[in-house]
Amino acid sequence: MTGIASPRELTLRGVILGAILTIVFTAANVYLGLRIGLTFATSIPAAVISMALLRAFSGTTIQENNIVQTIASSAGTLSAIVFVLPGLVMVGWWADFPYWESVAVIAVGGILGVMYSVPLRRALVTGSDLPYPEGVAAAEVLKVGAGVGGAEENRKGLAAVTAGGLLAALYPLLAKMKFAVEEVGGAFRVGSGGTMVFGGLSLALVGVGHLVGLAVGIAMLVGIVISFGVLLPQLTAGGIPAGADLADFVGTVFRQKIRFIGAGTIGIAAIWTLLRVIGPIVRGVTSAIAANASRKSGGNESLAITERDIPIGIVGGTILASMIPIALLLADFAVGGPVAAALGLTLVASVVYVLIAGIVIASVCGYMAGLIGASNSPISGVGILAALGISLLLLGLFGQGGSEADTKALVAFALFVTAIVFGVATISNDNLQDLKTGQLVGATPWRQQIALILGVVFGALVIPPILDLLNSTFGFQGAPGAGPDALSAPQASLISAIAQGVLGGSLDWDLVGLGAAIGAGVIAADELLKRAGKGMLPPLAVGMGMYLPTQVTMMVILGAIFGHLYNRWAARQSAPEFAERMGVLTATGLIVGDSLFNIAFAAIVAGTDNPEALAVVDGFTASLPIGIAAFSGIVGYAYWRMRRDSASA
């Protein structure tokens, strides 16, 4: 590729379209994140919209469409800052969201996330066999839209994506109209205790499961068995109050206890993962330095387009330079609290914490994104660990037993630092997924990295006013003066409780320790399986199964099983690679349709301020059997269609 001109890629029209999509998607995601605690992935919808709009212009390339989705993808992840920042209102430190202070903390964390992920590209993308389900899916969408693969294969591929998209949008439409249920399952007694198992009826999660593979699916199932089959029944044994609603009781125990155990498992698995990827990361940094030397001696043309990152010297300089605005932000935030009395030591310790925690979290989040996908990664679990770390640091510096006002100030400071680190987590979680897409479509890494920085800036500018609007209109549950219609902001509430528990002395460390012990056991089992040649049990995936609600994980497991069975069938066909790609394209379509529907539904809810805006019936008694039958029928038809189209190749 040396000496070949770069294709049209980072263009003004692409940046403008990406900025518009970022603003729209960010607004929708902030609202949904605060109302129901979930955000949706935006890379694939942005790619679809970009291809539809830029088709009207001449000279559009697959790489240009990729830049648009790269910019807009920041909306799906940077908006997850709402899992932390509203905590400052909840604990009563902020009454609103100071605009430039909020913009700065979001932007600096996001830009750090981009910089940390640059050397990780070589370690976790080009030098790794991680599946990157959403990155692969986005690349397939772009390839089909650009006609890659030949006329006949492209025709069938486009039909597969379209059919999958329509099928995936059909079911949530039925559910929002109240003709079908959105999940199946319930809470039930186990001995003197109880547990709960739900399955969210999402075609997108089935598609993700198809792409991540059986090993990840089995590991998540192991996590579910540990949390919901063993721990939850034990922790509720004999403690169910007479007349209490079983679902509410076990749900509360899950949130207040099981999730902390799951966070402990994720924590120890994250440390182990980091130790395992240190070698590839060092090689990635070394490779980046070598590429920089080659660029200096032979010019940019001496490198293949797909190997041109932002120069490692600029990356390192930007990371170090970012510590200055971080220190200034923290110093300004500390005014009037106990931190101000020991400002120098606390600032140095906090900045070093951000620097080191950023490296660790970027590596772990990038690995998780590669393993299960950016939108399904337990980012709030990473937020818990980040809040734990800075809270312990402040506890070591200031101790316990201070006044209520001092404790409140320390909790707020911990949340502010966590928000910066969380920005690193969200963007590194997303950026490697985008870089995987870029690798598959022949994009230039440094242009993608610049595009994501632009997306971070666009998102940082728009998030604070949306937060202010929602705060003034609804408020947040648990915040001073919150009304009956306050937004739940569940992750922000949980992470705030962590900081308060550590600094106030009420956190149950036994739960976190139990999770860490379980994680150590899973790591040992994974190593034994690998050495015996019996497969693998990814520890982070087990932690995800323990930490995430089964509404998310059950359908991923189901999709992993279906995908494994389909791929075994595909391997026996006359054109096995084509047959397997048809499965990937249909699974991609399932993700596309669900994502586009969520965007449309978010717009409807935001415009009407009514989450039941599409409901046409109330209390429809047949919604459960109709839902199960419709969902099963759609999944069955999707896989039948895959086999039909693949067998006719």
How far, in Å, are 4, 122, 305, 312 from residue 308 at the CA level? Answer: 13, 11, 6, 10
Give the pLDDT of residue 3. 44
Helix (H, G, I), strand (E, B) or coil at 535: coil
593 vs 150, higher pLDDT = 593
User: What is the dihedral sign for C-alpha 601, 602, 608, 611?
Assistant: positive
Average pLDDT over residues 483-511: 76
Task: Decide if 365 is inside a domain.
Answer: yes
Task: Decide if 362 is inside a domain.
Answer: yes
Average pLDDT over residues 543-549: 81
**Distance, CA of 86 to chain centre:** 19
Does one domain contain both 406 and 478?
A: yes
For the chain, the farthest-separated pair of C-alpha atoms sits apart, in whole angstroms, at: 77
- Residue-wise pLDDT for 112-146, tens only, equals 988 888 887 877 777 667 778 778 878 877 887 66
User: What is the dihedral sign for C-alpha 386, 387, 390, 391?
Assistant: negative
Average pLDDT over residues 223-238: 90
Helix (H, G, I), strand (E, B) or coil at 41: coil
Task: Decide if 516 is inside a domain.
Answer: no
Give the pLDDT of residue 348. 92
Give the pLDDT of residue 147. 63
Does one domain contain both 555 and 468?
A: no
Residue 2 pLDDT level (bands cut at 50, 70, 90): very low
Average pLDDT over residues 214-241: 88
Does one domain contain both 398 and 485?
A: yes
Token pair, residue 215, equals 């090993």
Domain end residue (candidates: 483, 506, 529): 506
Task: Decide if 4 is inside a domain.
Answer: no
367 vs 545, higher pLDDT = 545
Place of tokens 């790619």: 47
Residue 280 pLDDT level (bands cut at 50, 70, 90): low
Does one domain contain both 226 and 335?
A: no
Average pLDDT over residues 515-524: 92
Give the pLDDT of residue 328. 93
Task: Decide if 270 is inside a domain.
Answer: no
Helix (H, G, I), strand (E, B) or coil at 184: strand
Does one domain contain both 577 and 608?
A: yes
- Residue-wise pLDDT for 404-434, tens only, equals 788 888 888 999 999 898 888 878 777 778 8
Total domain count, the chain: 2
Place of tokens 């043309």: 301
Does one domain contain both 235 and 332?
A: no
Task: Decide if 25 is inside a domain.
Answer: yes
- Residue 40 sits in which domain range? 12-152+275-506
Does one domain contain both 300 and 445?
A: yes
Give the pLDDT of residue 295. 57
478 vs 353, higher pLDDT = 353
- Residue-wise pLDDT for 324-352, tens only, equals 999 999 998 888 778 888 888 989 999 99
Instruction: Quickly list DSSP for 214-277.
Output: HHHHHHHHHHHIIIIIIIHHHHHTT---TT--HHHHHHHHIIIIIHHHHHHHHHHHHHHHHHHH
Give the pLDDT of residue 484. 62
Single pTM value for the model? 0.71
- Residue-wise pLDDT for 615-638, tens only, equals 888 878 888 999 999 999 999 999
Does one domain contain both 412 and 358?
A: yes
User: What is the dihedral sign for C-alpha 378, 380, 383, 385?
Assistant: negative
CB 54 within 8 A of CB 82: no
pLDDT greater than 70 at residue 600:
yes
Amino acid at 20: I
Does one domain contain both 177 and 148?
A: no
Give the pLDDT of residue 228. 92
Does one domain contain both 574 and 616?
A: yes
Task: Decide if 96 is inside a domain.
Answer: yes
Q: Which residues pair with 476 in a beta bridge?
A: 487
- Residue-wise pLDDT for 295-315, tens only, equals 556 555 556 666 677 887 888
d(CA 642, CA 421): 42
Token pair, residue 422, equals 């969380």
d(CA 379, CA 361): 10
Cβ neighbours, 10 Å, residue 67: 30
Average pLDDT over residues 281-300: 62
Does one domain contain both 218 and 362?
A: no
CB 221 within 8 A of CB 377: no
Does one domain contain both 219 and 300?
A: no
Task: Decide if 512 is inside a domain.
Answer: no
- Mean pLDDT (the chain) is 80
**Distance, CA of 395 to chain centre:** 29
Reduced DSSP (H G I as helix, E B as strand, rest coil) percent helix, strand, coil of the chain, to 5: 75, 5, 20
Amino acid at 613: A
